[in-house]
Amino acid sequence: MITLVIFSAGLLLGLYLDNIRSNEVYDELRNYELNTESYLVEQAFWDAFDINDCSMAEKRLNSISTEMVELGYYLNSYETKSIFKDKEFEYLAQRYFLLEIKGYILITELKEECNLQNDVILYFYNPDDSSSELQGYVLDNLVKQSNGTLDVFSINKDFDDPAIKSLVIYYNVTTSPTLIINGKIKEGYTNYPGIQEILDENSS
């Protein structure tokens, strides 16, 4: 009987913590979506009146990119600590990945239109792959050392979504991890010096 009570209490606590983590991710997703939509409306306004304010666009996108990193941490926390792998997580993950793709498109356009010097890495991974996990740590360190000059967008290459499949086909991604570093494709795990070498090529 005591064992049953303890088990039930643990189950309820797990459900409660799951709900908290879920609400946190929802809140972060909503904030990011609103900020992204605000940026798009703002850009449409500037375009309609033939005003090109690259400095403001760069500032807004840097802010959005920072929020995206924080959102990724929230989602990863939900995935690793949750006892229940349910449809709710799949829904949150899909929204997150689609926002990542939108962010990647926006930053790529800004690089072309405003000559933005930020480095961009598109990171395809498999959540069950140890090499992908190690690659994630390397990318986290690179971002921390970049002083805001590096944007990393992470995509689960096997996630069932048409937009993700289009990216996978376009870049011919067949293995994980795969990095698209300023347009250059690197398959398999790439260490810190290897990535930094490619980034330095872009700045030279």
Q: Domain ends where: 58, 84, 116? A: 116
pTM of the model: 0.73
From the list 106, 135, 109, 139, the residue with the least C-alpha distance to 121 is 139
Q: How many domains does the chain have?
A: 2
Give residue-wise pLDDT tens across range 161-178.
999 999 999 999 999 999
Predicted pLDDT at 52:
64
**For residues 168 and 124, is the Cβ–Cβ distance under 8 A?**
yes
State how far the alpha carbon of 157 is from the alpha carbons of 11, 55, 153, 177, in Å: 32, 33, 12, 9
Predicted pLDDT at 39:
60
DSSP state of 158: T
Give residue-wise pLDDT tens across range 175-203.
999 999 999 999 999 999 999 999 988 76
Predicted pLDDT at 198:
92
91 with 137, same domain: the answer is: no
Burial class (CB in 10 A: 0-12, 13-18, 19+), 116: buried
Predicted pLDDT at 46:
59
Residue 157 has pLDDT above 90, yes or no: yes
7 with 101, same domain: the answer is: yes
Domain that holds residue 21: 1-116
The pLDDT confidence band at residue 116, using thresholds 50, 70 and 90, is confident
Residue 5 has pLDDT above 70, yes or no: no
162 with 172, same domain: the answer is: yes
The mean pLDDT value for 49-72 works out to 62
* Angle subtended at Cα 177 by Cα 175 and Cα 180, rounded to the nearest 5 degrees: 95
108 with 27, same domain: the answer is: yes
108 with 138, same domain: the answer is: no
Predicted pLDDT at 117:
82
The mean pLDDT value for 62-67 works out to 62
Give residue-wise pLDDT tens across range 26-41.
676 676 666 666 666 6
**For residues 111 and 142, is the Cβ–Cβ distance under 8 A?**
no
Predicted pLDDT at 109:
80
Q: Domain ends where: 116, 139, 161? A: 116
Q: Domain ends where: 57, 81, 116? A: 116
Give the DSSP per-residue string, the chain.
-HHHHHHHHHHHHHHHHHHHHHHHHHHHHHHHHHHHHHHHHHHHHHHHTT---HHHHHHHHHHHHHHHHHHHHHHHHHHHH-S---HHHHHHHHHHHHHHHHHHHHHHHHHHHH----EEEEEEE-TT-HHHHHHHHHHHHHHHHTTT-EEEEEEETT---HHHHHHHHHTT--SSSEEEETTEEEES---HHHHHHHHHHHH-
Which has the higher per-residue pLDDT, 63 or 135? 135
* Angle subtended at Cα 50 by Cα 46 and Cα 56, rounded to the nearest 5 degrees: 40
Which has the higher per-residue pLDDT, 68 or 177? 177
Q: What's the CATH number where 18 sits? A: 1.20.58
The pLDDT confidence band at residue 75, using thresholds 50, 70 and 90, is low
Residue 77 has pLDDT above 50, yes or no: yes
75 with 167, same domain: the answer is: no
DSSP state of 161: -
104 with 138, same domain: the answer is: no
Return d(Cα 190, Cα 193) in angstroms, integer: 8
**Residue at token pair 């802010």:** 63
102 with 68, same domain: the answer is: yes
Predicted pLDDT at 188:
95
